[in-house]
Every structure is written in structure tokens, then in C-alpha cells.
Amino acid sequence: MSHTFKVGQRVTMDRSKIFSSAPGTYIIVAALPESGGRLQYRIKSELEKHERVAEQSQLHPMLEEV
């Protein structure tokens, strides 16, 4: 398995199962080691002061602005 996202990349998060997460854009802060067969990232919302850990399957790339 390999990480899809790079540090510094802007992503959105699927909030359907994580209601306490902030809406909007997140920045990938770090790619974390595989855990239980799942790839994870440390992410930071532009609206929150703290960082979160999210699985790769919960994240979606931002479409590049034209």
C-alpha cells in the first residue's frame, strides 16, 4: 500500500461518520505508518487549532482551482 496524498496537499474529509469534524478544507501535515492495514494521515483544518488523524479512505483531493 502507498499513500495517495502528499504533505501540504489540500483535501476534504468525508464527514458522514465523523460529525465532530470541522467542515471545509484540511491540509495534510504528515503521512503516518500503516496501522491495521489502513493508511492514515495527520491533518489540520483551517478552522481548528488542533490536528486530527484520518484514514486515507476518509479523505478526498481538492479540485485544483482554475
Q: Where are the domains of the chain?
A: 10-61
Does the predicted TM-score (pTM) go above 0.85?
no
62 with 25: CB under 8 angstroms?
yes
The confidence score (pLDDT) of residue 22 equals: 76
State the average pLDDT over residues 28-32.
Answer: 98
Q: What percent of the chain has pLDDT over 90?
A: 65
Q: Is the pLDDT of residue 11 over 60?
A: yes
Please write the tens of the pLDDT for every residue from 31-50: 999 989 999 999 999 888 99
Does 65 score more than 70 pLDDT?
no
Query: CA 57 → CA 1, 14, 16, 66, distances in Å?
Result: 13, 9, 12, 26
